[in-house]
Amino acid sequence: MKGIAHLFFQGGGLIVPAHTPYDRELLFEHVEAATKRHGEVRFDVNRQQWRISLHNGHRKVCASCGRWPGNLTYWFDGQTLCAGCARRALHHRPHAWPRRPQAEKEDATNVDTPRS
């Protein structure tokens, strides 16, 4: 359903609204608390799937800003995001979703070249 987030974690789940910026902020609070308690959480909102986990020693930089994530790492669309970029991406969807590097390469190769 549009604007409804489904959280999944070991031993249960939670359904919360995600219509307004306030709802989405509460969603992130629920996600962070559940991740700290269970180690990993998955949530689906607007047909987008996210996975959040505690730092396990293997870290990657944020695909959006290049900074190291804190204690929690967010994965969306095959990319690692820090908490700040994940929040911005969810709040400003759809135009601010992080782009996959492969999509950028495809865009660069599909540029029309002028014909002589």
Q: Is residue 113 part of a domain?
A: no
Residue at 111 is within a domain: no
What DSSP line would sit under 7-73, residue for residue? EEETTEEEEEE-SSHHHHHHHHHHHHHHHHHHSEEEEEETTEEEEEEE--S-----TTT-PPP-SEE
Residue 31 placed within a domain: yes
Low-confidence stretches of the chain (pLDDT < 50) are 94-116
Identify whether 55 is part of a domain.
yes
**Number of folded domains in the chain?**
1
Domain of residue 26, residue span: 4-104
pLDDT at residue 65, as a whole number? 87
Does residue 52 form part of some domain? yes
The answer as to whether 29 is a domain residue is: yes
pLDDT given for residue 1 in this prediction:
61
